Amino acid sequence: MFDLLVTGGTVVDGTGAPAYRADVAVNGDRIAAIGALAHASAARTVDATGKVVAPGFIDMHTHSDLTLRADARGWSKLRQGVTTDVVGNCGMTPYPVAADPERERVLKESLFAIADDMPWGWHGLRGYRETLQAQGIAINVAPLVGHSAIRGAAMGFGEGHATADDLAAMRRLLSEALDDGAFGLSTGLTLPPSSYGDTDEVVALCAALAARPGRLYCSHVRGDTVDGPTGMREALEIGRRAGVPVHLAHMAVNDPRRWGTASEVMDEMDGAARAGVDVTCDVYPYAASSSGFSQCLPGWAQSGGRLDTVARLRDPSTRARIRDDMEGDGLLAGWPWHWDRLMVCRVVNPEWRHAEGMTFADLAATRGVAPIDAALDLMAADEGRVQIIFFYRTEEDMRTFLRHPRSMVGSDGSALTAGGPTGGGRPHPRNYGAAARVLGRYVRETPVLGLEDAIHRMSGKVADRLGVRDRGRIRAGFAADLAVIDPHAVVDHATFEAPHQYATGVPWVVVNGAVAVADGEPTGVHRGRVLAA
């Protein structure tokens, strides 16, 4: 007698091995048996005839840290079959929280707060875990700890070089998070205050990782320059010098002058691997990225956090300096400004909501000003919270990254639920569609990957990289995180114009043995956990 029996399906087990016909039985929160079990009895039976039974997907790169706190349902991920989100990416985590109230305030401001008044009630990863588990969440999360949060707690959110004392304080906070189960350290080297740290600082922190084999250095790298993938080179150097495994987030070629060079980038990564660096990467299946517009301002103008930036924008002479530096320096690492490729996707100020969906070129035209002035006016009016989409990538480069043997899939998106507190703005469709898009567009419609390979890159391969030993595979004794997929129908529907649309073709999802999606509809059962390394 089993608790749950999934019969008649084709098992794609998450290892990359060929699919095979088998039934899958679950007892409690574990996979109990795999084989010809159609005549076994079970409390509940799911007919998966004609469907693929896969491990629940593990999304290697997400920002669901607070979205699941704000709305535990996480339907944008759950309905794609994602059962675990890796959180804490790009340097920013909601822990550690400094005892200093000013530093606590800036940390909260920086986390693009979904609901500014949402109570946190924790200081470290341990408290964050207890809070989320007490609340209940639809999917699991696997936490990293962020360099920006650590640096902010140890030395504030301003510019400045870390002293030996600062480094010691950061290492204490990092070690505490690692002791509490963080899977690694993330940096966001275009995002302050992580961006204020130099290579030596990150190497010094990664030395604390090296004492715990398998914990990852996950890097959102510094912007590549016209000279090549300089940000990746720095991350590889950090891995080599600190002796830690490196995982590169959201691979891309963003500078239009270097479009088409993805295979050269991956050749260089392979070369570093041959020279001894343990390196992997993730990518999401879109030719556009998204983040706050504030990182496009000069580094000095972002010092101290969002409200300090806004104060600078409201001072005419400081704003003029910001404008001059932006025009002179280019976008991020010096990329050419293409204002028609930068689209506003989230504005909090209701008087400026109409800008959502417009490029800065559009907004400038309606206001009769230069695009850079439209952008800075909007930033000031929205108190620095403007989120944008960058159409700065090519489909061809994305496919090159996606098919490379070192890559896995990471959406860079969050677990959102339409109509709820996380359902506002026009966020990047990756939040709702990345996994389903891989299976629908890049396995079935215009194949880049085979089905088993694609599922491997969204399950077993990710679990292996994280060191999660009991998830990511269909295997007896493993956690019962399952996705039943219709391989002929699975597809994403979210677009840049209308992103809050769920993927379809994933009729059943099981999280820790509990049915979380039944016949395509979420059940409201929240059995997710905060995993620990």
Instruction: Tell me which residues touch Zn ion (CB under 5 A).
Output: 90, 220
Nearer to Zn ion, 90 or 466 (CB): 90
Burial of 370 (0-12, 13-18, 19+ CB in 10 A): middle
Nearer to Zn ion, 42 or 388 (CB): 388
Nearer to Zn ion, 73 or 220 (CB): 220
**Shortest Cβ 89–Zn ion spacing (Å):** 6
473 vs 378: CA distance, rounded Å: 47
30 vs 23: CA distance, rounded Å: 15
Residue carrying the six token digits 């809050």: 500
CA 246 to chain centre: 16
> In 142-198, which ranges are continuous DSSP H helix?
147-155, 164-179
**Shortest Cβ 90–Zn ion spacing (Å):** 3
**Shortest Cβ 88–Zn ion spacing (Å):** 11
**Shortest Cβ 469–Zn ion spacing (Å):** 27
251 vs 474: CA distance, rounded Å: 28
**Shortest Cβ 134–Zn ion spacing (Å):** 29
Nearer to Zn ion, 220 or 341 (CB): 220
Nearer to Zn ion, 155 or 189 (CB): 189
Nearest-5° Cα angle at 237, 231 to 240: 145
**Shortest Cβ 328–Zn ion spacing (Å):** 25
Write down how long the chain is: 533
222 vs 137: CA distance, rounded Å: 33
Nearer to Zn ion, 53 or 189 (CB): 189
Nearer to Zn ion, 279 or 380 (CB): 279
**Shortest Cβ 220–Zn ion spacing (Å):** 3
Report the b/e string of 493-524 with b at 16+ CB within 10 A: bbebeebbebbbbbbbbbbbbbbbbeeeebee
**Shortest Cβ 222–Zn ion spacing (Å):** 11
319 vs 291: CA distance, rounded Å: 21
Nearer to Zn ion, 220 or 393 (CB): 220
Nearer to Zn ion, 187 or 309 (CB): 187
411 vs 409: CA distance, rounded Å: 7
Q: Which two tokens stand for residue 484?
A: 């039943």
Q: Which two tokens stand for residue 129?
A: 């875990």
Q: Say which residues have a Cβ less than 8 Å from residue 513's Cβ, sequence separation at least 6.
A: 3, 4, 26, 27, 28, 29, 30, 479, 480, 527
**Shortest Cβ 223–Zn ion spacing (Å):** 11
